[in-house]
Amino acid sequence: MTAHVDTAFAHDAVLDSAGCAACGAGLVSAAAFCGSCGHRRGAPVSPAETVMSPLPTAPSVKVSLTLQPLIAWAREPGFWRGWVGPFALFAVAPFALLQASGETESRVIATGFAVYFALLWGLVLHRVIAPEPQDRWLLVRISLFTAFVGTALAIAIEEWVLSDAPQLPDYVFGVGLPEEAVKALPVLLFVFLSRRSWTPRTFIFAGVVSGLTFGAVEAISYTGLYEQLSDLGAGTYGDMTAATIWRLLSGGLFHGCLAGVLAYFIGLAYWYRRSAVVLVALGLGLVSVLHGLYDDLSGGWLGTAVAGFTIVVFAAYVRIGDEIALRLGEPDQQRPAALTGGAR
C-alpha cells in the first residue's frame, strides 16, 4: 500500500529536527509519513526499510561580480605584466585588421598585417634567444635604419646588378648579398661600434630585428605589386594570394633568421678583432648563398628544404652560440659579464 503524503501546506510547515527514523530526511511536523521514503512516523524500522543517508551537498556558491575574470584580473597587477597582456593584444588585433580590410586600401591593410607579424615573431624570438636587457631605443634605431635606408640601398643595388633572366649566381650576388649586407649595417653601426660588450645572442637578436623589419617592408611593397599583376592577368588569384600570405607570415621570419646568423658572426668579430674580416666574410657568404639558393629554388620542395635548413642553422647558433664563442680561445676584447658559457 502506497502511503499518501499531504503536501498542500508543505511550504508553510516546519521541519521536525528529529528527522525520519528510516532514512534521516527531515520530516514536516504535521505529516504522518516521510516524504522521502514513505516510512510511517513513529513506527519501528525494519532492516529492509533502512536507507543510507544522502551524501552531504556542497555549499552553494554565491554568484557575484567576483566570478567575472576581467574584474578579478584587472585588480591583479600581474595581469598587465608578463605574457597575458601581450597575448590578449595579439589575439584581438587580427580581428580588428580583418574588420578594417573592408574599409581601407589593401596596401594599408598589408602594412598592418606586416607590422603585426613582425612584432609577433619579434616577441617569440626574443623569448627564444633571451638576449641581454638593452635600451629599446637601440632596437628602434635598428628598425628605422633598415626600413628607410637599408631597403632603399637594397633596391638600388638589385636594380643595378640583377639581370632580366636571373640564374643562381644572380640570386646569390644580386639579391642575397646586397640584402644581407644592408640588414647587417645597423648591427655594425649601433651594436658592433657601441661602447658596450654584448653577448652573441644579443647580436643575434639585433640582427633578427633588422631582418624582421626588412621583411615587413618588402611584404608591403610586394603586396601592391601582386595586386597590380593580378589585375593585369599576369598570374592567378590563388598564386598571388599564396605569395602574399607567405610574405606577410613567413617572409619576415626568413629574413630575420638569415640576418640573425650574420649578426652572430659580427658578434664574434667584435671579440676577435684580428679575425674580424674573415668572420664577417664567412657569415655574409653563408647567408648570401642560402638566400640565393632559396630564391632560385623557391618554386619547389628544394626551396622548402633550403628554408628549413636555414631555420635549423639559426636555431643551432641560438642554442650553442655562446659555447662556440668560448671555444674559439681567448678573445681580443673583454668578454661580456653576462656570458656564462655552455649550451643553454
Residue 270 within a domain = yes
* Strand, helix or coil for residue 41: coil
Judge whether 257 and 311 are in contact, CB under 8 Å.
yes
How far apart, in whole angstroms, are the C-alpha atoms of residue 147 and residue 211? 10
Residue 341 within a domain = no
Residue 141 within a domain = yes
Spatial CB neighbours of 12, under 8 Å, sequence gap ≥ 6: none
Same domain, 99 and 185: no
Same domain, 266 and 301: yes
DSSP H helical ranges for the chain: 69-74, 84-100, 106-129, 136-145, 151-161, 168-171, 177-187, 200-231, 237-246, 252-271, 276-297, 301-327
Residue type for position 2: T
- The pLDDT value given to residue 332: 64
Same domain, 131 and 276: yes
How far apart, in whole angstroms, are the C-alpha atoms of residue 262 and residue 315? 13
Residue 256 within a domain = yes
Judge whether 130 and 201 are in contact, CB under 8 Å.
yes
- The pLDDT value given to residue 344: 41
How far apart, in whole angstroms, are the C-alpha atoms of residue 99 and residue 45? 72
Residue 32 within a domain = yes
Same domain, 184 and 37: no
Same domain, 75 and 31: no
Same domain, 25 and 160: no
Domain coverage including residue 86: 71-103
Burial 152-182 (b: 16+ CB within 10 A, else e): eebbebbeeeeeeebeeebbbbbbbbbbbbb
Same domain, 99 and 125: no
Burial 104-139 (b: 16+ CB within 10 A, else e): eeeeebbbbbbbbbbbbbbeebeeebebeeeeeebb
Judge whether 339 and 325 are in contact, CB under 8 Å.
yes
Which whole-number Å values give the CA distances from 176 to 42, 169, 300, in the listed order?
97, 10, 19
pTM over 0.85: no
Same domain, 133 and 208: yes
Grid coordinates representing 2 are 502506497
Same domain, 161 and 211: yes
- The pLDDT value given to residue 89: 84
> In the chain, how many domains are there?
3
Same domain, 98 and 123: no
Judge whether 283 and 343 are in contact, CB under 8 Å.
no
Judge whether 224 and 107 are in contact, CB under 8 Å.
yes
Q: What is the DSSP secondary structure assignment for residue 336, as one 8-state letter?
A: P
- The pLDDT value given to residue 253: 96
- The pLDDT value given to residue 184: 98
Return the H-helix or E-strand segment holding 16: strand 15-16
Residue 58 within a domain = no
DSSP string, 281-292: HHHHHHHHHHHH
Same domain, 226 and 138: yes
Mean pLDDT, 10 residues at a time, the chain of 344 residues: 43 54 66 68 61 51 57 63 76 84 72 91 93 90 96 92 87 96 97 88 96 94 66 54 77 96 96 92 98 94 96 95 81 60 40
- The pLDDT value given to residue 6: 44
- The pLDDT value given to residue 111: 86
Residue 175 within a domain = yes
Same domain, 235 and 309: yes
Tell me the sheet residues that pair with 28.
15
Residue 174 within a domain = yes
Q: Which position has the grid cell 629554388?
A: 297
Spatial CB neighbours of 215, under 8 Å, sequence gap ≥ 6: 114, 118, 247, 251, 252, 253, 254, 255, 256
